[in-house]
Structure 1
Amino acid sequence: MGIHLNVCPEGAARVSQKQHIVIVTGGSIGPWAHDQLEGLHPSCDYLIGADRGALHLIRSGYRPQLALGDFDSVTPEEREEIRAGSDQFITCDAVDKDWTDTELAYSMALERSPSQITLLGALGTRMDHTLANIHLLRKGAEIGIRSRIMDAYNEIEVISSTTEISSGPYPNVSLLPLTTEVTGITLTGFRYPLKEATLTIGQSLGISNVLEEKRGIIQIRSGLLLVIRSRD
């Protein structure tokens, strides 16, 4: 079953301007997150804390515009700290909901029609939550909103059309199909180029490529492609 956003009594207002929304959720968060928040904050127009991710933001010196979730991973005292430290506080019943806190936060972000969404704390030791969060990126890709998940070692996004990526701290670039197959894959600026290639689920052909130029182009004709940039 799906949950509608109105399971929470208050909704985030829809806006018309393009925004960069950053979501911090309750997965694995370490010292790396502070550096990434510092780098993201100048371009961040709207900050969302999901469940314990909101507590991390507040204790790192940030005031989220929105904190939401069932808050079952914080104490009552921490919950009040989150409420006091956020512009808007939305709580949902921990039992009577079908979405994870991260999906709820991401869906509310999509409602604001931003230009891009970045998620921190969306990866961790729980592989079920990690995979579910990666699959969330499909929602943005299907409506043309570029989304990514970042941690100390990875930057992950799902693409459905031609996409440009730039060189950065993650030297390895791997391509994995999120649909049964992805067709017409052409790579420009990579060490191992592809031209009109097709990738199907279960293939490892797209693993561990390297960007040779300052910018690289990934073109696809059909399907959804998982682009994972990583470092050891």
Structure 2
Amino acid sequence: MQQRIVICTGGQLGDWAIQHIKPGDLLIGADSGALYLILQGLRPDIAIGDFDSVSEEELISIRNSSGKTIACDPVDKDYTDTEMAVRLALDMQPNELVLLGALGTRFDHSLANVHLLALAAQQQVHVVIIDNHNKITLATDRLIVEQQGYPNVSLLPLSMEVKGITLTGFRYPLTNASLTLGQSLGISNVLLSSTGTIQLDEGLLLVIQSRD
């Protein structure tokens, strides 16, 4: 079983992303995310995608510098490059999956990538999406939240309703509360110390930690 997999995909990436890659991580580069890893001096274990965001010369570099390259036709495919990478990673049954570059200027792609958290939850794999301002994960039962430089914590339902929400260690506590899709009640909470606990009975709850 692969303990931790990091996927770099084609959204916004920068120097900040390198700090989230640890020795021993299995690295997957989706489309131009593979090129990003190579330019940082890292070797993708797997490069995957249609590679329509890179030049022919860059694709040659990706093929030469990656452990394995999986290329597909940009038209005849059912999934985005990021979803292909996530599905590949989930097949490896990791303990943790980190997505870098999953958020960017294309809101449709960003939102689709957030929805991939629900796909991973079906297989009981913990996934976190990270960029320079946000850290996004999904709570399905009990989750310990660590501050880690993100002072704001917002809770948004990903299912139609989330029931039995209890917050411990937050400025604005909840006890056995419910949130329904379309409510903003859970926006901009704050941890009182370095950690807090979210407990829920039913549903899918997005936990979005952020900093300005």
TM category (shorter chain) comes to over 0.9
Superimposed CA distance per residue, residues 174-214 of structure 1 (whole angstroms, 9 cap, x where no aligned partner): 00000010000000011110000000011111000011122
Counterpart in the other structure of 1:22: 6
State the SS of the aligned residue for 1:41.
coil
Counterpart in the other structure of 2:46: 66
Which amino acid in 1 is paired with 2:209? R
Percent identical residues: 57
Superimposed CA distance per residue, residues 83-108 of structure 1 (whole angstroms, 9 cap, x where no aligned partner): 01100111011111010000000000
Matches within 5 A, 1:1-232: 17-33=1-17, 37-42=18-23, 44-232=24-212
State the SS of the aligned residue for 2:90.
helix
| In structure 1, distance between residues paired with 2:27 and 2:147 | 26
| In structure 2, distance between residues paired with 1:40 and 1:24 | 10
Runs of 4+ in 1 over 6 A off after TM superposition: none
User: Is the Cα contact below 8 Å between 1:142 and 1:160 reproduced in 2?
Assistant: no
State the SS of the aligned residue for 2:88.
helix
TM-score by length of structure 1 reads: 0.89
TM-score by length of structure 2 reads: 0.97
| In structure 2, distance between residues paired with 1:18 and 1:195 | 37
Which amino acid in 2 is paired with 1:150? I
| In structure 2, distance between residues paired with 1:184 and 1:98 | 36
Superimposed CA distance per residue, residues 30-49 of structure 1 (whole angstroms, 9 cap, x where no aligned partner): 2322xxx234323x521000
Q: Aligned Cα RMSD in Å?
A: 1.0
Which amino acid in 2 is paired with 1:24? C
State the SS of the aligned residue for 1:184.
strand
Which amino acid in 2 is paired with 1:165? V
State the SS of the aligned residue for 2:117.
helix
| Gap regions ≥5 residues in structure 2 | none
Which amino acid in 1 is paired with 2:4? H
| In structure 2, distance between residues paired with 1:118 and 1:156 | 10
| In structure 1, distance between residues paired with 2:194 and 2:85 | 33
Post-superposition offset of 1:18: 4.2
| In structure 1, distance between residues paired with 2:104 and 2:47 | 20
User: Is the Cα contact below 8 Å between 1:23 and 1:119 reproduced in 2?
Assistant: yes
| In structure 1, distance between residues paired with 2:50 and 2:171 | 46
Superimposed CA distance per residue, residues 138-186 of structure 1 (whole angstroms, 9 cap, x where no aligned partner): 1112221100100000000112111111121111000000001000000
User: Are the structure 2 counterparts of residues 186 and 128 from structure 1 closer, same or farther at C-alpha, using a change threshold of 3 Å?
Assistant: same
| Gap regions ≥5 residues in structure 1 | 1-16
